[in-house]
Amino acid sequence: MGPISRRFYISIRWKTIVPLLAVVVVGFAASSYFSVFRLGRELEASTVATARVLTRAWETDIVRALEAGRPQEIAPTLDLKARLPGIERLAVLDSRGRLINSHGRLKGRLLPRDLARRLEPARSSDRVVGWREKGPIYHALAAVRTKEGRVWGYIMLDLSIAHTEQRIAAARRATLAANAITIMVVVTAAALAANVLVHKPLQRLRETMARVASGDLAARAPFTSADELGQLEQSFNKMIEQIEAKNKALIEAQERLVLREKLASIGLLAAGVAHEINNPLATISVAAERLAEQAASPEQKQMAERILSQCARVTQTISDLLSFDRTGTFDMVHFDPVRLVQDAIEAVDASSARIEVSAPSLIPKVRVDPVKMRQALANILLNAVQASQPDGKVKVELARIGNWLQISVSDSGPGIRPENLRRIFDPFFTTKEEGEGRGLGLAIAYEIVKNHGGEVAAISPAPGTQSAQKGTMMKVRLPLEAQGAVSGG
């Protein structure tokens, strides 16, 4: 696991949703603000208009009563009007702003503190002056003028705007609620979409990558859709397939290399100890042979001969191990491969199996050290013969494949178990009974063929065999020279 996966990071899901959320929230907040603000402005404008109309109307009433010389009618008229809903107070002030009359629900209250400041603007123009102090009340002030234009006094109307404010608050709440719901719906939908379309596929891909990183090259990303992520999964899978193939090739190459190294070191060791073993063996065998000749009894003779046979066994082992010594030279000659195979068959005691050889009529000669290659083929043949049933057949087939001469040896034996297949060229690996085989034959064959620039491979079950007997096919490939001599088969 790399450092990236352990570090804190922000999921792509949040990276999508949070900016979206911010934009939506800001957008809706702005739109709500402006709509509520506009509503407030509209309501205020309508309040002002109402105040203006009512103030003017009642100013007219006052002027009319004054002109008719019945100022006493002013108070009852205004008292009646002040009962209209929404009117909190209706006050009449004299020309210096002192309260003459007050009607309505708030008639006992103090006059607004700002009033004095408003008298002059109302006096100097025909406008209705309106303002708000604290509380849900709108004050409207207008001068009452006589016909001559003299300012008789003022009329002040206090309108309740509690209702308006309630409407604004309600509108604000409604907008907020609607916006909140919309935001939630939008964000949830975006989150779900991001989850299903991006996060989940990415997570699957990431899990697959983690499995691959931990060494499971068989892991594949599930191919879910044809979109960009699907393409990513596909290319990831393709990449892993290539890595797997290359990795397999690399492992095989490495195994071959390790095997060759192993064989070379055995050869080196054998060359080193050959003297140390063969010299004492020479003394032992000569002495044992002498003892056998001069034995006083058959038992003694038998004992001496047993020493001799064991000496021979050690000698053979050393001799086999020396096959891995690469300091020896090769006597390379152009040689008829069919003769090579026949020589090898002669070297093998083939009484227990019938060896069939098939070769094309024209087959090129191959450059080999005939002695060594004969030994390699004999070892392979011996293995095939031993694996085959008593009456089983061993087939040897020669063929030219491109620039290679292929000698395939197929037996009718039980086949090689997969776990053993890759070890059969390992020195000292054997499935035979203890004492029956030292596990060197195929390793020697491998070494010899490799030293000729060739290849050996074991295929089990052998291709084209019946189901009862799986069989094994050993394929030996030897390089042919570009203009190889052609001889009659």
Q: How far apart are CA 237 and CA 209, in angstroms?
A: 10
284: contact with other proteins by CB under 8 A: yes
285: contact with other proteins by CB under 8 A: yes
* CA–CA–CA angle 363, 369, 375 (5° rounding): 95
Residue (375 or 469) nearer to other proteins, CB: 375
Going by their DSSP bridges, the two strands 393-401 and 354-358 should be labelled as parallel
Nearest-approach distance from CB 243 to other proteins, in angstroms: 46
Nearest-approach distance from CB 284 to other proteins, in angstroms: 7
Residue (280 or 360) nearer to other proteins, CB: 280
Peptide bond just before 461 cis, omega within 30 deg: yes
342: contact with other proteins by CB under 8 A: no
315: contact with other proteins by CB under 8 A: yes
**What letter does residue 9 receive in the DSSP assignment?**
-
- Longest Cα–Cα distance in the chain: 180
* Three-state DSSP class for residue 457: strand
* Three-state DSSP class for residue 146: coil
Cβ(340)–Cβ(374) below 8 Å: yes
Please choose, from the candidates 363, 316, 317, the residue with its C-alpha nearest in 3D space to the C-alpha of residue 340. 363
329: contact with other proteins by CB under 8 A: yes
354: contact with other proteins by CB under 8 A: no
Residues contacting residue 439 through CB under 8 Å, at least 6 positions apart: 426, 427, 428, 429, 430, 432
266: contact with other proteins by CB under 8 A: no
Nearest-approach distance from CB 436 to other proteins, in angstroms: 23
Residue (274 or 421) nearer to other proteins, CB: 274
Q: How far apart are CA 171 and CA 33, in angstroms?
A: 11
Helix (H) or strand (E) holding 90: strand 87-94
Residue (311 or 380) nearer to other proteins, CB: 311
Please choose, from the candidates 454, 457, 478, 451, the residue with its C-alpha nearest in 3D space to the C-alpha of residue 324. 451
Q: Residues 224, 279, 302, 316: which binds other proteins (CB under 8 A)? A: 279
316: contact with other proteins by CB under 8 A: no
Residue (426 or 447) nearer to other proteins, CB: 447
Residue (329 or 361) nearer to other proteins, CB: 329
Nearest-approach distance from CB 481 to other proteins, in angstroms: 24
Q: Which two tokens stand for residue 378?
A: 């004999």
**What letter does residue 461 receive in the DSSP assignment?**
S
271: contact with other proteins by CB under 8 A: yes
287: contact with other proteins by CB under 8 A: yes
Residue (317 or 406) nearer to other proteins, CB: 317
Q: Which of residues 362-421 bind other proteins (CB under 8 A)?
A: 371
Q: Residues 159, 221, 322, 449: which binds other proteins (CB under 8 A)? A: 322
Cβ(154)–Cβ(122) below 8 Å: yes
311: contact with other proteins by CB under 8 A: yes
Q: What residue ranges bind other proteins (CB under 8 A)? A: 271, 274-275, 277-287, 289-290, 293, 311, 315, 319, 322, 328-329, 331, 371
